Amino acid sequence: MNNSEPKVIAFISGKGGSGKTTITIATTQLLTDIQQSCLLVDCDLTTNGCSYFFQEKLKEKAANGIWEILELQLKESDAVAAQAKELPIGITDKFYFAASRKVYQNKELPTYESLSQKLERISEVFKGLKEWASEQNINYILLDCQAGYSYTMQVAITNLDADKLVIVVEPDAITKDAAKNTINQLSNSFRKSGFNFPPELRLVNKLTISELEMYVDMQKRETVLEWQDLLPPLSFDPQVRNAFANKRLPIDVQKPSVLLFALVRTLKHIFPEIRKTIEDYELNKVNILFEKYQKEVKDLEKEKKQLEQQQVDIKTRKLLIRNKSVRNIILASAFLIIWILICVLILSINKTLGIKIGLGIIFIVIILLITKYVLQLIPKGKQLENNVQREIDLSNQIGIINRKLDHYRSLELALAKENLVTPRDKEENLQNTDT
């Protein structure tokens, strides 16, 4: 791309929980890995979801957020814009971020009333951010907007002159209705303000294997979501949830993941102007990661077989120990009972003192031998207990491997095998055929 004004992409959703923030951050990660400089802006002044991902970096640089700029007693709009240019901080090479507020400070969250009093100056903040991006030759500005409709979203999209809207939805009717309501509110505000509504792209996120049939049916009828500009879907990726739990970014561009594979394909539709660059990236890097993925799957399957064999061996040993112990206990008990019966019989026939003493000595010797044998069973019992614990550990390890394999074989691969396409794919294929 040349050093023109940055393209602006706004990510919105009808309700929270659709994965909008995750997709926005992951998109920024991939674009910067493709050597496209990006400014990611957290436009959510209420929940600040995006800013929490970069909490430590913000604290390290003592960075302000949009809210702190609005709190300053600045009268001139140029002063607001100048302060806004100080917001972006470097996350990685070519990755810049502007926070919504200082999430690393234990401050009281802004209320709706306090926001409404200060939002009159927020347009100057976004103008300042766009000026900074132009001066720094930033390729893309990505906006993580608040879920649902908000005035901040409208101001950001209009003042930054967004080139596209990406509406992130889940494959359910409630999310669809919420997104439709948000779009209606936003388009009405645009119409009243005299602005042209930017092109919309719909992105179905967190699609599971069980929902694949519904998605295929949706493509055939094209009425489930009632949208033609449907992007290739993103399947549910459990690694994203694990990343959240450990305060990590959604994807690691050096490791294979379902979201990474799916998102690379989707970015070709969101950013057609760099489609060739993305395709080269896909060929050179993603394919290498995919080979790594295939190797990991083979290694996991091999490890699983080894663990399952160990599990079978332990069960066999456990059964042998148990059977041998039970058999010996039965034999010892039977021998003791028989000897007692013999002693009773002998004493009933001959009750002389010598015979009594002899039988008593023999009886004591037998009891000592049985006691010694019982004591020898204790280590075997401990060994049996260890085998049981080892079997439980192996079952847990196999369970972890099964979950990893389920992750690797999730919907992204199913979609690839089925060669499913969206209405946009169909249109592009027709155009390619015509040319």
Give the residue, 410 or 233, on which the prediction is more confident. Answer: 233
What one-letter code names the amino acid at 142? L
Question: Taking the CB of residue 249, how many other CB atoms lie within 10 A of it?
Answer: 19
Domain boundaries, the chain: 7-270, 301-409
Integer Cα distance of 96 and 385 in angstroms:
56
Q: What is the pLDDT of residues 259-294, one digit of tens each?
A: 888 898 899 999 999 999 999 988 887 767 767 767
pLDDT tops 70 at residue 427: no
Integer Cα distance of 155 and 391 in angstroms:
60
Contact 13, 147 (CB under 8 A): yes
* HSE, side-chain direction, 13 A CA sphere, residue 418: 16
Q: What is the pLDDT of residues 293-338, one digit of tens each?
A: 677 777 777 888 888 888 788 778 777 777 777 777 777 777 777 7
pLDDT tops 70 at residue 39: yes
Contact 119, 71 (CB under 8 A): no
pLDDT tops 90 at residue 132: yes
Integer Cα distance of 26 and 32 in angstroms:
10
- Encoding tokens for residue 182? 């948000």
- Encoding tokens for residue 118? 């200060």
How many residues are there in the chain?
435
Q: What is the pLDDT of residues 162-194, one digit of tens each?
A: 999 999 988 777 887 888 899 889 888 888 877
Give the residue, 414 or 325, on which the prediction is more confident. Answer: 325
Integer Cα distance of 309 and 302 in angstroms:
11
What pLDDT is attached to residue 136? Answer: 94
Share of the chain above pLDDT 90, in %: 21
What pLDDT is attached to residue 411? Answer: 45
Q: What is the pLDDT of residues 78-115, one digit of tens each?
A: 788 888 899 999 999 899 999 998 866 666 666 656 66
Can you tell me whether residue 169 is helix, strand or coil?
A: strand
pTM for this predicted structure = 0.70
Give the residue, 66 or 104, on which the prediction is more confident. Answer: 66
- Encoding tokens for residue 57? 């970096």
Type and span of the H or E element at 164? strand 164-169
Using pLDDT thresholds of 50, 70 and 90, give the confidence band for residue 423.
very low
What pLDDT is attached to residue 384? Answer: 59
pLDDT tops 70 at residue 61: yes
* Opening angle at CA 147, ends 224 and 101, nearest 5: 160
What one-letter code names the amino acid at 125? V
Integer Cα distance of 359 and 347 in angstroms:
9
Q: CATH topology for 7-270?
A: Rossmann fold (3.40.50)
What pLDDT is attached to residue 1? Answer: 42
Type and span of the H or E element at 357? helix 353-408
What one-letter code names the amino acid at 359? L
What pLDDT is attached to residue 356? Answer: 65
* Opening angle at CA 431, ends 430 and 435, nearest 5: 115
pLDDT tops 50 at residue 430: no
How do 164-169 and 200-204 pair as beta strands? parallel
Integer Cα distance of 286 and 281 in angstroms:
7
Integer Cα distance of 313 and 319 in angstroms:
10
